[in-house]
Structure 1
């Protein structure tokens, strides 16, 4: 009877699967920084972007062409004609654009490259006065550029693509209407 109980206890013990409390994909040493370093980790990006561009052009052209013909018979002039063509053009233009974007976006590490760089991507949407504003961000980050607080400035992101789009009445009013675009193509 004792032998049967021992065999039964051994069969129950061997049938139970062994599980470990250690999971390699989520393990972090006690002395490690709380920085993003693997796919799925969240990283905070402080977007501080300023851009300014000025373009100007001045054009001036002058053209005068003159053609004259005379038909003579002997000493007497039989016919005379003249053609004068001239033109003046003065043109100029100036374009100036300034933009500034200050925001904080949380992104996710999508991939760790063989070089150790982190490929990040994320988006943030915010509605203000019934206007939907969306910031999307992607690029490459060196782990050394991430602060102890798990924050990286946008100026330290390689191959950065930062897009800021607004949708609503104000954004719609800033777009040229279709008929104006058509007139621009025709040259009016």
Structure 2
């Protein structure tokens, strides 16, 4: 029974992979995403808008579409650009060295004549003159180094999906690019302050709280680079 269940799971996983043979990876549906829902159902307005006939009578247009209007994202459903420019470099080097040595000796050459009496009862060549003698030494050294270099430059449009009570905006953005049979996917989520958004309606990734940035792919190249399921299980179970 157990072997049949394992065989069934293997065949199910294999059939799922065989469905993609000769086909390019498909995009995820956009209409069912959280971003479209936020744009289609914006939050309730908190300010009273000026009637259009009154606004037209003034030389100053306070709308967001005016020449000097503030076009930064501020409410649910608005779109802003997230600029991801990661160029991190870390280099750590540690070294340690420790040594210890000790010598101990104990001898009783004479003590009211008792050592001589004891020497008579000891085996030939044994004496209390050098009763105990011990020498110990230890040494250890270690070296370690870590070098890492990461560089990533991306831009993605994100949507304001929620506005918290303190005015912080929750954003979520996704982007999919398919080249031949390989699909690259970029996902960005996090929380931003409206005052951190630039006049160009952009925000850098280092100003996003609880940022989650995922950049990966799926398709023929990614499938070949991934180890098989059996190999992954063997790497976990085998102790050597």
Structure 1 length-normalised TM: 0.61
C-alpha deviation, 1:78, in angstroms: 0.9
Q: Distance in 1 between matches of 2:182 and 2:134?
A: 63
Tell me whether 1:57 sits opposite 2:104 in the alignment: no
Aligned length: 157
C-alpha deviation, 1:155, in angstroms: 3.2
CA RMSD, Structure 1 to Structure 2 (Å): 3.9
C-alpha deviation, 1:56, in angstroms: 1.7
C-alpha deviation, 1:126, in angstroms: 4.6
More helix by share: 2
Task: Report the counterpart of residue 103 of structure 1 in structure 2.
Answer: 154
C-alpha deviation, 1:54, in angstroms: 2.0
Q: Distance in 1 between matches of 2:185 and 2:211?
A: 16
Tell me whether 1:68 sits opposite 2:105 in the alignment: yes
Q: Distance in 2 between matches of 1:46 and 1:55?
A: 28
The 5 A counterparts of 1:137-152 are 137-152=188-203
Tell me whether 1:90 sits opposite 2:132 in the alignment: no
C-alpha deviation, 1:60, in angstroms: 0.4
Conserved? CA contact 2:91–2:145, under 8 Å: yes
Q: Distance in 1 between matches of 2:181 and 2:143?
A: 39
Conserved? CA contact 1:48–1:155, under 8 Å: no
Q: Distance in 2 between matches of 1:24 and 1:90?
A: 63
| Partner secondary structure for residue 141 of structure 2 | strand
User: 1:107-140 deviations in whole A, cap 9, x for unaligned?
Assistant: 2212112333311122334567866654332222
Q: Distance in 2 between matches of 1:124 and 1:144?
A: 25
More strand by share: 1
User: 1:83-107 deviations in whole A, cap 9, x for unaligned?
Assistant: 3221111111111212122101222
| Structure 1: unaligned runs, 5 residues or longer | 1-22, 184-188
Conserved? CA contact 1:133–1:165, under 8 Å: yes
Tell me whether 1:136 sits opposite 2:187 in the alignment: yes
